Amino acid sequence: MKQKILVWLSGWVDSAVTAYLLKNAWYDVTAGFMINYLAPEGEYCPTLEDIEVAREVAAYLNIPFFTFDYIEEYEKKVLNYMYEWYKNGITPNPDIMCNSEIKFKIFLDEALAHGFDKVATWHYAQIIEENWIFYLKKWVDTMKDQSYFLAWLSQYQLSKSLFPIGHLEKSEVRKIAWAAWLPNATRKDSQGICFVWKVDLSQFLEKKIEHKVWNIVDTSGKILGQHKWVFYYTIGQRKGLDIWGLKQPVFVIKKDLENNILVVGTSQDMDLFQDELVIKNVNFLSENLHFPLTWKAKIRYRQEDQSCEVIDLKNAKYRVIFHEKQRAVAAGQICAVYDENDFLVMSWIIE
């Protein structure tokens, strides 16, 4: 009997090729479009356009097409999480939360409840199964690999998921789309973050977090300008500071929430660098790890792998010591640790 697969069909070429490959591999394929966010009237939002493109692709492939309305769940699990973390001076990662709480939880649970065996998405990463253990491995193009955004998934979620294009180069995916005459073969790739699309993030946050203007200062306390509110800024941020007349670029190095003061410094300012993290609430994707581990880690997407050592401090706490100091370590982001074969073994939210 064919396995029943629910494909997340987003309207973009990657998801169309995912559905096409699965159908050609003789799976019983159904397309599902997740409606997670609709912008207020008068604001640009690609969702309605994406639905129509996805529907056209499903019709071309002759597979069933359904929409799933997760607007309420998305607001609770992702949007409110973003607002609350920003108000507490933490920079969240909505893509990671969306993957772990929406795509591979609510969407997955609903798929299984309707008799599907697995869900399939177009993420550029690989799931490797060995002896009933499911490993998450980097995509073939490690600089554009998306395993970082999947770092908070569980063994169960990986066991019920497929990434059919995770072994293909991006250029190959586009060639497959052209050769198959898929309706969206020439559609440009999405550059949006989860739901925000090309909306300015500060404008988005202003819907729930009001302005409270105060000072931007350097490390000596000299006033250089003013900001909207410290909540809007991220450690290491350079753009959007609106400071003029300086001889060299400055970056956010500290957010004083109590006094609403933003502290900036140059790229050489030592307050911008640190060489270790103490971590807890770790998500393990590999078993029988023997500490200390000498592997590699990244603290943001598209960062090159950084050599590090991970030490078990007991009581579910661990210390990560980087061989080179790391710039702009931001609370709320994910630190992901990989082994020598590019398998993601553990991750956690930086506090």
Instruction: Assign domain 271-349 to a CATH class.
Output: mainly beta
Every domain of the chain with CATH number 2.40.30.10 lies at: 271-349
Place 254 in a pLDDT band, splitting at 50, 70 and 90.
Answer: confident
Q: What is the average pLDDT score of the chain?
A: 89
For domain 4-122+164-179, give the fold. Answer: Rossmann fold (3.40.50)
Every domain of the chain with CATH number 2.30.30.280 lies at: 210-264
For domain 210-264, give the fold. Answer: SH3 type barrels. (2.30.30)
Cα gap 129→82, rounded to integer Å: 33
Give the count of beta carbons closer than 10 Å to the beta carbon of residue 246.
13
Cα gap 228→230, rounded to integer Å: 7
Contact in structure between 280 and 292 (CB atoms under 8 Å)? no
Lowest average pLDDT, out of 84-98, 145-159, 165-179, goes to: 84-98
The sign one gets for the Cα dihedral 80, 328, 193, 95 is negative
Q: Which one has a higher pLDDT value, 106 or 256?
A: 106
Every domain of the chain with CATH number 3.40.50.620 lies at: 4-122+164-179
Give the count of beta carbons closer than 10 Å to the beta carbon of residue 62.
8
* Bond from prior residue into 92 cis (ω within 30 degrees of 0): no
Cα gap 238→251, rounded to integer Å: 5
Place 47 in a pLDDT band, splitting at 50, 70 and 90.
Answer: confident
Place 192 in a pLDDT band, splitting at 50, 70 and 90.
Answer: low
CA-based nearest residue to 332, from 306, 308, 300, 302? 300
Q: Tens of pLDDT along 13-41?
A: 999 999 999 999 999 999 999 999 887 77
Highest mean pLDDT (candidates 64-73, 89-98, 129-138, 311-320): 64-73
Place 191 in a pLDDT band, splitting at 50, 70 and 90.
Answer: low
Highest mean pLDDT (candidates 84-88, 123-127, 199-203): 123-127
Q: Which one has a higher pLDDT value, 331 or 155?
A: 155
Contact in structure between 227 and 248 (CB atoms under 8 Å)? no
> What pLDDT is recorded for position 126?
97
Residue type, 286: S
Contact in structure between 29 and 23 (CB atoms under 8 Å)? yes
Give the count of beta carbons closer than 10 Å to the beta carbon of residue 100.
19
Give 233-299 as a 3 state SS string. Answer: CCCCCCCCCCCCCCCCCCEEEEEECCCCEEEEECCCCHHHEEEEEEECCCEECCCCCCCCEEEEEEC
- What totals of helices (H) and strands (E) does the chain contain, helices first? 9, 18
Length of the chain equals: 351
Cα gap 118→133, rounded to integer Å: 16
Contact in structure between 177 and 16 (CB atoms under 8 Å)? yes
Q: Treating both helix axes as pointing N-terminal to C-terminal, what angle do 13-24 and 170-179 enclose, rounded to 10 degrees?
A: 70
pTM score, two decimals? 0.88
Place 42 in a pLDDT band, splitting at 50, 70 and 90.
Answer: confident
Lowest average pLDDT, out of 39-48, 82-91, 201-210, 283-292, goes to: 201-210
Question: CA 328: distance to chain centroid?
Answer: 18
> What pLDDT is recorded for position 212?
82
> What pLDDT is recorded for position 134?
94
Q: Tens of pLDDT along 229-242?
A: 887 788 888 887 87
Q: Which one has a higher pLDDT value, 201 or 151?
A: 151
Highest mean pLDDT (candidates 13-17, 128-132, 326-330): 13-17
Q: How far apart are the first and last CA of the chain?
A: 47
> What pLDDT is recorded for position 204?
73
| Residues with catalytic function | 98, 194
Give the count of beta carbons closer than 10 Å to the beta carbon of residue 157.
19
Average pLDDT over residues 116-135: 94
